[in-house]
Amino acid sequence: MKTYTEERDLSEHPSFRKLNPYDGKSQPKRKRYAFKQLKRSLTPEEMSVGVADIWNEVSCLKKMAHPNVIRMRGVVYDVGGDNSVCIILDKLNRTLEQEIIRWEQEIGSMDRSILKRSKTKNEMKMIWKEKINAAYGIACAINYLHAQR
């Protein structure tokens, strides 16, 4: 089975037509997806545990429908008869960790530009607004997940 990275488009995956049939009349939607699968180098015992974990994840994700919880688009399994599993998920543009690093870099560059006080103050307000929105989104997702129990 060819390995697909998160940078590839779903239409390149051999199982794409099963998940999203293209009628040939309209342009297929080009959306980025992430493919999550187990490493081929796992021992048979690790593979068995990993496959069970992935199926548990599939079981949970298929019930989720919230804007702050990643969406599962499909599952490809038993490709080539090796019991492998691949989950197809919406790709994140960036992670919270990447956002935190960006905020820290922006704040650091503002500290060096003391002469531009008013601009710096407005930029700090924007960063705090982004942080509060991120925290609110996380809180909403956690609230949703707890309500699903």
Residue type, 111: D
* pLDDT tens-digit series, residues 74-110: 888 876 666 678 889 988 888 888 888 988 888 777 6
d(C-alpha 59, C-alpha 72), whole Å: 10
pTM of this structure: 0.59
| 3: three-class secondary structure by DSSP | coil
Look at residues 90, 110, 136 and tell me which one is the last residue of a structural domain. Answer: 90
| 46: three-class secondary structure by DSSP | helix
Indicate whether 102 and 76 sit together in one domain.
Answer: no
* pLDDT tens-digit series, residues 1-29: 334 444 444 445 444 434 444 444 555 55
Domain count for the chain: 2
Most confident option among 1-5, 114-118, 128-132: 128-132
- pLDDT of 1 reads 35
Residues 138/65/20/22 CA torsion (nearest 10 deg): -90
Question: Given a cut of 70, is residue 72 above it in pLDDT?
Answer: yes
**Parent domain of 28:** 10-90
Indicate whether 86 and 109 sit together in one domain.
Answer: no
Which residues are within 8 A (CB) of 78 and not within 5 positions of it... i.e. 6 or more apart?
A: 84, 85
- pLDDT of 134 reads 92
Residues 21/27/33/39 CA torsion (nearest 10 deg): 60
- pLDDT of 137 reads 92
CATH code assigned at 26: 3.30.200
Indicate whether 19 and 62 sit together in one domain.
Answer: yes
Indicate whether 108 and 80 sit together in one domain.
Answer: no
Would residue 67 count as lying in a domain? yes
> What mean pLDDT is predicted for residues 42-56?
88
Give me the percent of the chain exceeding a pLDDT of 70.
Answer: 68
- pLDDT of 135 reads 93
d(C-alpha 37, C-alpha 55), whole Å: 11
Would residue 3 count as lying in a domain? no
Look at residues 46, 72, 90 and tell me which one is the last residue of a structural domain. Answer: 90
Say how many C-beta atoms besides its own lie within 10 A of residue 54's C-beta: 19
Half-sphere exposure of 25 (CA within 13 A, CB side): 1
Look at residues 90, 108, 127 and tell me which one is the last residue of a structural domain. Answer: 90
As to burial, measured by CB atoms within 10 angstroms (0-12 exposed, 13-18 middle, 19+ buried), residue 147 is: exposed
Indicate whether 120 and 72 sit together in one domain.
Answer: no
